Amino acid sequence: MSSLATSGSTAASAAIASIAEAIAPIETYLTTGPFGDGAAIAGTAAAYYRGAARACARACGLDPQLLAAEEIAHVEALRRAATDEALRLCMSERVEEARAVFQHYLDVRERALTDVDVQRDADRHREAGTVPEPEFPATGAGHWLYDLLIELFDETTTIAGRRVGVAPAPVTAGLEAARQRAVALARRSVPRLAGDVLRGVRRICLYRADQPYSGYTNAAPLFVFVAGQMFDEDHIAAELLLHECLHQKLNDLSVIRALFREDYHDAHSATVSVPWSFGSQRVRHFSADRTFAAFHVYSHQALFYLGMLATATTAQDSALAGDNAMLAWARAAHFAAELTGEGIRAELGADGHRFVAWLSRAVDDLGAVRLPDGSLLSSHAGVHSTPTATGDG
C-alpha cells in the first residue's frame, strides 16, 4: 500500500472517529431529561391512562377494574385508544357516547381474553423475556384481532387527503430475519437511542398497499405499521422502525405535557410550509401537531444516519449514510426555523416552547458535526427537498 493511500485511510478513520465522538453527547442529550427519557415518559403515560380510565369509568357508571391496564398488547392498545375517545366525550358531557365507546372495547376485550391464539401470543412474548423491541405478533394476518388493528390503521391513513387503502400482510421467515437485521443496525448505529425508543412499542403489524411506507395511529397506540416492502433494505427498515417508535414517544409526551395551548384545535392551527412531498416539489403546510411530529423524527433520524456513518463497514454504506444524514438534518433545520414564526408559536403551550428549544439545541449540535469530506453538516441545508428521500414527515 502506498504511503498516500495509507495517509488517506488514516485521515478517513480519524474523521469517522471524530463523528462518533461528536454524536455521543447528543445521543445522551436526546435520551435524557423530561423530553428525552423514554422509560420515564412511557411510565408517566401509563400512569395517566390508569387514572384517566378510572375517572371515565366512574363517570360512565362502569367497574373501573374492567378498564384496568392489560398485559396483552393488542388489548392494551385498544384500551388506551378507547380511553382517549371516552375522555373527550366525557369532557363534552356526552357520557352515553363515552359509555358506548367503552362497551365496544369491553366486547373486544372479552373475545380476546377467551381467544386461545391471543393468549398464546401473550405467552410467547412473556416467555421470551423482556426483549425491549417491537416484534411481529404471533397472531398474524387473518386473525380477527390483528386484522382489526390493520383496519383501524387503514381508517386513519391518508395521503393528500385520500385513503391509502391497506390490507394485512403475512409474516414470513425472511421478513423476521429482515426485522432482526434492521433492529441490529439501529442498535449498532445509535445504541442508546435505539434502546430508548424501541422499547416503547409492543408490536409491528405488516400491511400491503399500492403506495407502501409505514405509519402510526393513536387509534392503535403501542403498535406500528410497516409495509413488507420496506424491509427490503436494512437501513430503510431501521429508519422507519425508529421513525414510528418516535411517534409513540411523542404521543406519550402529548398526554403528559402541555405541548399546545389549552384550546388548540388541529384543524384551525397555524401552519408551517413543507417544500417536499414524496419526491415532488409540491409545497404543503403542516399544523403545529404534525410539525412537532416531523421535527421530532428528522432530528433523531439525522443522529441515526450519523451513527450509521460512524459504524459503516463499506464505502457504499458510508456514502448512503452521509447522504441521508444531510437530508434528515436539513429537514429538521427547516422545521426549527419555521417554528420561530409568531403564528405557529402562538399554538404552543408552555411545554411546547420548551420542547422546541430542547430539540432545536440538538439540531444545532448535530449541524456542527464535521463530515468525512471536511464539511459541516449544517453546510448542506439546501438538500431538504432531494427527490430520493425515503421519508415524508
Predicted TM-score (pTM) above 0.95: no
Backbone angles phi, psi at 73, to 5 degrees: -55, -45
Task: Give the C-alpha separation, 168 to 208, whole Å.
Answer: 6
Task: Give the C-alpha separation, 124 to 144, whole Å.
Answer: 19
pLDDT at 357 over 90: yes
Per-residue model confidence as pLDDT tens digits over 9-38: 666 677 788 999 999 999 999 999 999 999
Distances (CA, A) of 54 to 38, 61, 62, 257, 362: 24, 10, 9, 20, 38
pLDDT at 389 over 80: no
How sure is the predictor about 274, in pLDDT bands with cuts at 50, 70 and 90? Answer: very high
How sure is the predictor about 386, in pLDDT bands with cuts at 50, 70 and 90? Answer: low
* Domain residue ranges in the chain: 1-35+264-393
Percentage of the residues of the chain whose pLDDT score is greater than 70? 91
Higher-confidence residue: 384 or 48? 48
pLDDT at 139 over 70: yes
- What is the structure's pLDDT at 388? 40
Count CB-CB contacts under 10 A for residue 236. 19
- What is the structure's pLDDT at 3? 36
Strand pairing class (166-168; 271-274): unpaired
pLDDT at 74 over 90: yes
Count CB-CB contacts under 10 A for residue 108. 18
How sure is the predictor about 131, in pLDDT bands with cuts at 50, 70 and 90? Answer: low
- What is the structure's pLDDT at 282? 74
Average pLDDT of every residue of the chain: 91
Residue environment code for 357-369, b if the CB has 16+ CB neighbours within 10 A, otherwise e:
ebbbebbebbbeb
Per-residue model confidence as pLDDT tens digits over 361-374: 999 999 999 999 99
As a whole number, mean pLDDT of residues 277-291 equals 83
pLDDT at 387 over 50: no
Per-residue model confidence as pLDDT tens digits over 57-73: 999 999 999 999 998 99
As a whole number, mean pLDDT of residues 338-366 equals 97
As a whole number, mean pLDDT of residues 376-390 equals 71
pLDDT at 181 over 90: yes
Percentage of the residues of the chain whose pLDDT score is greater than 90? 79
> Across the strands, what pairs with 215?
225
- What is the structure's pLDDT at 2? 35
Read off the C-alpha cell for 258.
402541555
pLDDT at 289 over 60: yes
Per-residue model confidence as pLDDT tens digits over 290-330: 999 999 999 999 999 999 999 998 999 999 999 999 999 99
How sure is the predictor about 109, in pLDDT bands with cuts at 50, 70 and 90? Answer: very high
Distances (CA, A) of 74 to 170, 187, 241, 256, 380: 17, 26, 18, 22, 42
Residue environment code for 328-350, b if the CB has 16+ CB neighbours within 10 A, otherwise e:
bbbbbbbbbebbeeeebeebbbe
- What is the structure's pLDDT at 211? 80
Can you say whether the dihedral through the CA atoms of 163, 168, 174, 179 is positive or negative?
positive
Phi-psi region of 381 (alpha: psi -120 to 50; beta: other; left: phi over 0): alpha
